[in-house]
Amino acid sequence: MTYKTVTLKRGKEESLKRFHPWVFSGAIAAADDTIEEGDLVTVYAHDGTLIGNGHSQIGSIAVRMLTFDDTAIDEAFFEQRLQDAYHMRQALGLQREDNNAYRLVHGEGDFLPGLVVDIYGPTAVMQAHSPGMHFARNIIAQALAKLPGVNNVYYKSETTLPYMAHLDPVNDYIIGHMETDEALENGLRFHVDWLKGQKTGFFVDQRENRRLLEHYSQGRRVLNMFCYTGGFSVYALRGGAQLVHSVDSSAKAVRLTDDNVSLNYGDQEGRHKSFAEDAFKFLDNMEAGQYDLVILDPPAFAKHKSALHNALVGYRRLNAKALEKMPHGSILFTFSCSQAVNKEQFRLAVFSAAAQTRRRVRILHQLTQPADHPINIYHPEGEYLKGLVLYVE
C-alpha cells in the first residue's frame, strides 16, 4: 500500500524514533501537494528512512502516527488494535457481572491517536478527535462489532472534530440501535445518555476514585460538587453516608443525578438532595462545618497551555473556598482533569489554598486515571487526571 508522503527536516525524526506519535507542522520539510485533511500518509526522515504511517491533519499536529513501520492502515489493522485493546481490558477484569462500563480505546494510550471508545453494556460509544478517524469510522465500527458483547456502535463526534475541517459529522448509530441506556459500575446502576450527555455520556475515568470515596463515606455528611451524573453521590450513599448533597450548575445534570439515585435507591431516598447552582456561589453561601466529606471535580479549567495561569488561580480559589469551611477531621477529594496542568502544578495550587486558609492539611492519597485510560509511555501528555485526598484539621 502506498500513501502520500511527508518528509521531515533534518533531526526532526528524533522524537518519532522514540515512538512519540505526533509530527508537528514545523518539523516537515516537504509533503505531497495533494495531501488533504485526514489522508493516510507515510512519514520519512530527511535521509529517506521510513518512519511509519499516520493520519494527516491541518494544525500544529500535522500527522498522528498509527504505525512505526510500513503496516497498512486497513480493516486488519483496526481489528488487531481493537482486539489488543479488548484483551488488555479483559486482563483488567472490567467486564464482569457487576461492571460493564469502561473505556475500551483511549487514543494514544491504545496506539490509536484520535479515537476514543467507551463501552456501556452492549453499546460502544465512539468518538473521533481527528479527521482521519472520522473517515475510518465505518471500518472501525465493523471491527468493534466483532468484539464479544458489542451489539451496537453509536458514533458521537459532532463536538470533537475540528470544525474548520467542515466534516459535518452526524451523531448516530452506525451499527444496531438503542438497546438499553443502563450501565453497571461496581454493582451500581447508571443511566448513560450518550445521545445528549457530555463526552460519551458518563465519566468512566472516576470509577476507582468513586470506590475509594465510598470507603470514606460511612456516617459522613457529603457534598458532591460538580456532580454531573451523580457518580460520587451514588457511591457515597452505598458507603453509608448520613446525607449527600449534589451540586451542578446544569439543571440537566442535576436531573441525571436524581435519576441515578432513584435507580439505585428508589424515589424515597431521604438522605439525598440536589441543587442546580453555581459551585462558587454555593460554597460562599454554605455554612461552615456543614459537610465533612467534600468532592471537587470541576470541568477542565485549562483546555490549552495558554489558559494555564488562570486555571491554577481557579483551582486555588475553588479549593480555598471549600477548605475554609470544612470542619476539623474532614476529608476533601479534589481533582483536576486539565491535561495542560501537571501533577506538581495542581498540588501547588491546592497547597496555596491550604496555606491561604491556614488549615492543617495532610495528603492521604494521590489519585490518577484508572488502568482503562492507559498512558502510552512514549506519550506522557496522555496523563490528565489528577486527584488528592486530603485530611483537613
Note the residues at the interface with ligand SAH (CB under 6 A): 203, 206, 226-229, 231-232, 248-250, 253, 278-279, 297-299
**Is the CB of 5 or the CB of 249 nearer to ligand SAH?**
249
**Is the CB of 104 or the CB of 256 nearer to ligand SAH?**
256
* Least spacing, CB of residue 326 vs ligand SAH, in Å: 18
DSSP string across 131-179:
HHHHHTHHHHHHHHHTSTT--EEEE--TTTS-GGG------EEEES---
* Least spacing, CB of residue 393 vs ligand SAH, in Å: 25
- The span from the CA of 256 to the CA of 130, in Å, is 30
**DSSP conformational letter for 326:** P
Q: At CB < 8 A and 24+ separation, what contacts does 275-282 make?
A: 275/245, 275/246, 275/247, 276/248, 276/249, 276/250, 276/251, 277/247, 277/249, 278/249, 279/225, 279/226, 279/247, 279/249, 279/318, 280/317, 280/318, 280/321, 282/225, 282/247
* Least spacing, CB of residue 298 vs ligand SAH, in Å: 6
- The span from the CA of 307 to the CA of 268, in Å, is 43
**Is the CB of 70 or the CB of 278 nearer to ligand SAH?**
278
Look-up: residue for cell 489519585? Answer: 367
**Is the CB of 67 or the CB of 233 nearer to ligand SAH?**
233
* Least spacing, CB of residue 249 vs ligand SAH, in Å: 4
- The span from the CA of 52 to the CA of 30, in Å, is 16
Nearest to 113 by CA among 129, 125, 127, 124: 129
**Is the CB of 251 or the CB of 355 nearer to ligand SAH?**
251
Spell out the residues 6+ positions from residue 105 whose beta carbon is closer than 8 angstroms to its own. Answer: 82, 85, 112, 115, 116, 117
Helix axes 308-325, 343-357, angle to 10 degrees: 40
**Is the CB of 160 or the CB of 206 nearer to ligand SAH?**
206
Spell out the residues 6+ positions from residue 167 whose beta carbon is closer than 8 angstroms to its own. Answer: 38, 131, 134, 161
**Is the CB of 162 or the CB of 298 nearer to ligand SAH?**
298
C-alpha distance from residue 157 to each of 58, 73, 126, 206 (Å): 18, 21, 8, 22
- The span from the CA of 263 to the CA of 69, in Å, is 49
**Is the CB of 66 or the CB of 101 nearer to ligand SAH?**
101
Look-up: residue for cell 482503562? Answer: 372
**DSSP conformational letter for 200:** T
* Least spacing, CB of residue 158 vs ligand SAH, in Å: 18
* Least spacing, CB of residue 275 vs ligand SAH, in Å: 9
**Is the CB of 19 or the CB of 275 nearer to ligand SAH?**
275
Look-up: residue for cell 459529522? Answer: 169
